[in-house]
Amino acid sequence: MTSPSPSVAVEPLVVFEHVSCSYGDSPVVEAVDFSVAPGEFVGVVGPSGSGKTTVLRALLGSVKPVHGSVRRRQGLRLSYVPQLETVDWNFPVTVREVVAMSRPTRSWWPRMTRAEIVQIDEVLDRLGLEGLASRHIRELSGGQQQRVFLARALLQDPDLLVLDEPTAGVDVRTRHEVLHVLADLNEGSAGTRPMAIVLTTHDLNGLAAHLPRLICFNRTVVADGSPDEVLRPYFLERTYGAPMEVLRHGGMPVVVEHGGDELRERMSRRGA
Query: Contact positions toward other proteins, by CB under 8 A?
Result: 60-62, 78-82, 86-88, 91-94, 97-98, 100-105, 108-110, 136, 139, 141, 143, 156, 173, 177
Comparison of 154 and 230: residue with beta carbon closer to other proteins: 154
User: DSSP of 245-271, one letter per residue?
Assistant: EEEEETTEEEEEES-HHHHHHHHHHHH
Is the CB of residue 158 less than 8 Å from the CB of residue 193?
A: no
Comparison of 3 and 113: residue with beta carbon closer to other proteins: 113
Q: How far is the CB of 230 from other proteins (least distance, A)?
A: 28
Q: How far is the CB of 31 from other proteins (least distance, A)?
A: 24
Q: How far is the CB of 83 from other proteins (least distance, A)?
A: 10
Comparison of 69 and 105: residue with beta carbon closer to other proteins: 105
Q: How far is the CB of 78 from other proteins (least distance, A)?
A: 7
Rg, Å, the chain Cα set: 20
Comparison of 15 and 98: residue with beta carbon closer to other proteins: 98
Q: How far is the CA of 44 from the CAs of 27, 88, 227, 272, in angstroms?
A: 19, 25, 11, 42
**161: which residues sit within 8 A by CB, 6+ positions away?**
79, 81, 153, 154, 182, 185, 195, 196, 197, 198
What is the rounded distance in angstroms from the CA atom of residue 144 to the CA atom of residue 51?
Answer: 28
